[in-house]
Structure 1
Amino acid sequence: MPYQASYVRLLKDGGLAERKAKAYRRLSCCDLCAHACQADRLRGRTGICRAGQSVTVADYGPHFGEEDVLVGQGGSGTIFFTGCNLQCVFCQNWEISQLREGETVSVETLAGMMLELEEKGCHNINLVTPTPYLPPILAALEVAAARGLSLPLVYNCGGYESLAALELLDGVVDIYLPDVKFGDDATGLKLAGAPDYFAAVKSSLTEMHRQVGDLQLDERGIACRGLIVRHLVLPGGLTGTVEIVRFIAAAISPDTYINLMNQYYPAYRAKDYPPLHRGLSAREYQAALQIAREAGLHHFA
């Protein structure tokens, strides 16, 4: 039997509409991410992410560069949102995250994008950097689900989430895909402008795993529910890989799927933050893999 997305069940009992309403109310004193800026976005104020009430999309379409368990044959149906609640000095998508390139779209248009991706044969709806736009995303999801959308929902985020937002997503998201960047708070503040970064991420990962558990695959080997953690390995050991993988293995689950990414290259303002001015060496990446294995992790996405 095909997997039924969580939000489909929530739509039927009115729960999706309730979550949407709660999310919009939070915009009056925004705490949708761990910054908890308290900006009144309903009155035109903005916080760290600089997002307002409406939703801005940079691009969308079938994507084949994601993890194999998300891509399959039809691709992952990605929607790239403009902006970010983090300010990483090495961001490789800085034109979208910091310069905020993109187009403001209506809830109806966003719903149409989701349905179009399903019609194209994508295996999931992959929301990239969605947290600043949680209310209109829930509104669009309600519209799309009422029109037949049933693909698993992937929440592809920076991991610096608030428990208030994750509570709204309980029973909505099928697959959490957080990008865990740093294993200590000081580095998170210096390189991403995020106070108490690792503390917030640990709380987020714990709640995400409580909601969806370890990754489940269907008969085709495609992910349908669960947690996948991404970790971009940085040069010079800046990411604190040891602390991250040990926490995941001990406090989340040793069966967690993790993608240790080796595609770092200097971008945005990285040249001003040595050793980020150089690429990642093969030795550094192999060391990170060994650290993860020694911690007890064994599913590498």
Structure 2
Amino acid sequence: MEACMLCPRKCGAARSIQRGVCGADDQVRVAKIMLHQWEEPFISGTRGSGTVFFSGCNLGCVYCQNHEIRDGGIGEVYDVAALADAYLKLQQDGAHNINLVTAAPYVPDVAESLRLAKALGLTIPVVYNSSGYECVEAIHSLEGLVDIYLPDYKYITPLLAQKFSTAPDYAAIASPAITEMFRQVGDLVLDETGVAKRGLVIRHLILPGCVDDSRKVLDEIVRILPLTTHISLMSQYTPQVYTTEFPLNRKITQREYDRVISYALSLGLHNILLQTRDSAKSIFTPQFTEQI
């Protein structure tokens, strides 16, 4: 890949000879493949979500719970055919869906692998699990291949986005990307068992001391999307050993969480998924040092 412009970083890396800002070179690296039981209930269902964790990330949040894989250096190399085979194996193992986590550095290969897998018999829904920091063009290229979009909406305030993710333009990028996701798949639709078939669900991780920004995120969601939009308000923030220099060295309080919930309800949002505070534990984070 010459002069990579896939993501909003527009780093221009010649990925055949150097890694991009995301940490990826010109080969797709997969850090872990698993039946994930700890996603939202309508994603994991009873049999698990067939999750493919890609190595590398264009955002690099300082509090990342998947920090082992965000720099792109670990994982096994998969070509398009091997990816398609992995999806089909997950389907055979009973997965409710194929859940692609941080696939942004590899969108062209991922799109090709999905087309191949569908031609070979993949029928379960495909989930695109994203940081929200995506180019509209990349999302557009996935139209017809992705059934469920599961993006984050992390911040509105440029200062916070710069401080925690070195991306002051985060909101300016995320809003049009998420709008395009909604255009493709619409509101969340569940099957008769309560598992997602199609649609958009936005995740928002509430950070300690950042309730005002969380409110602004909700304001923006209401501005760009209907009040029927499904939002997962996440209380699971877990301090990491390398966040001590930031104001992120504690879990959020119940009061902080309640304030964000109350504000969401006051805006008229009613499809809100809440999270128990005991989910703020590292045991719910996959281990990436184990064999794929």
Common fold, TM-score beyond 0.5?
yes
1:28 partnered with 2:7: no
1:57 paired with 2:34, answer no
Match of 2:117, as an amino acid?
Answer: A
Q: Structure 1, unaligned stretches of length 5 or more?
A: 1-26
Q: Following TM superposition, by how much is the alpha carbon of 1:266 offset from its aligned partner in structure 2, in angstroms?
A: 1.0
Q: Give the AA of the match of 2:259.
A: A
1:46-83, CA deviations, whole angstroms, 9 ceiling, x for partnerless residues?
A: 32102112111111121110111112222111101111
Unaligned runs of 5+ in 2: 274-292
Q: Are 2:84 and 1:111 equivalent residues in the alignment?
A: yes
Do residues 198 (structure 1) and 171 (structure 2) align? Answer: yes
| Alignment match, 1:285 | 257
What SS does structure 1 have at the residue aligned with 2:2? helix
CA distance in 1: counterparts of 2:127 and 2:208, whole angstroms: 29
Mapped contact 1:266–1:279 kept (Cα < 8 A): yes
- In structure 2, the partner of 1:39 is 13
* Gap change, CA 1:32 and 1:290, over 3 Å in 2: same
Q: Distance in 2 between matches of 1:224 and 1:31?
A: 31
Aligned partners of 1:130 and 1:157 also within 8 Å: yes
Partner of 2:86, secondary structure, is helix
- Structure 1 position 106, deviation (Å): 2.5
Please state whether the residue corresponding to 2:132 is helix, strand or coil.
coil
Alpha-carbon offset, residue 136 of structure 1: 1.8
Which residue in 2 is equivalent to 1:145?
A: 118
Q: Give the equivalent residue in structure 1 for 2:283.
A: none
8 Å contact 2:55–2:70 — kept in the other structure?
Answer: yes
What is the CA-CA distance between 1:33 and the residue it aligns to? 1.6
- Report SS of the residue matched to 2:228: coil
Matches within 5 A, 1:1-301: 27-41=1-15, 43-98=16-71, 100-237=73-210, 240-267=213-240, 269-274=242-247, 276-301=248-273
The whole-number CA distance in structure 2 between the counterparts of 1:69 and 1:116 is: 21
1:139 aligned partner, one-letter code: E
Q: Is the CA contact (8 Å cut-off) linking 1:54 and 1:136 kept in structure 2?
A: no
| TM superposition score normalised by structure 1 | 0.86
Change (3 A) 1:99 1:161: closer
Amino acid corresponding to residue 35 of structure 1 in structure 2: R
Whether the 8 Å CA contact 1:214–1:226 is kept in 2: the answer is yes
1:238 deviation in Å?
Answer: 6.2
Larger fraction in helix:
1
Deviation at 1:103, TM superposition (A): 1.7
Equivalent pair of 2:54/2:101 in contact (CA under 8 Å) = yes
Report the counterpart of residue 287 of structure 2 in structure 1: none
- Report deviation, 1:102: 1.6
Task: Kindly state the Cα deviation for residue 183 of structure 1 after the two structures are TM-superposed.
Answer: 1.7
1:164-188: per-residue Cα shift (whole Å, max 9, x none)?
1012112221111001111222211
Do 1:30 and 1:40's aligned partners in 2 also have CA atoms closer than 8 Å? yes
User: Identity of paired residues, percent?
Assistant: 44
CA spacing shift, 1:93–1:49, aligned 2, 3 Å = same
Partner of 2:280: none
Aligned equivalents of 1:111, 1:31: Cα separation in 2? 25
SS in 2 for 1:278: coil
- The separation in 2 between residues aligned to 1:59 and 1:184, in whole angstroms, is 33
Task: Tell me which of the two structures has the higher relative contact order, counting C-alpha pairs closer than 8 angstroms and 6 or more residues apart.
Answer: 1
Contact 1:159 1:204 in 2 (8 A): yes
What's the RMSD between the two structures over aligned residues?
Answer: 1.6
Partner of 1:7 in structure 2? none
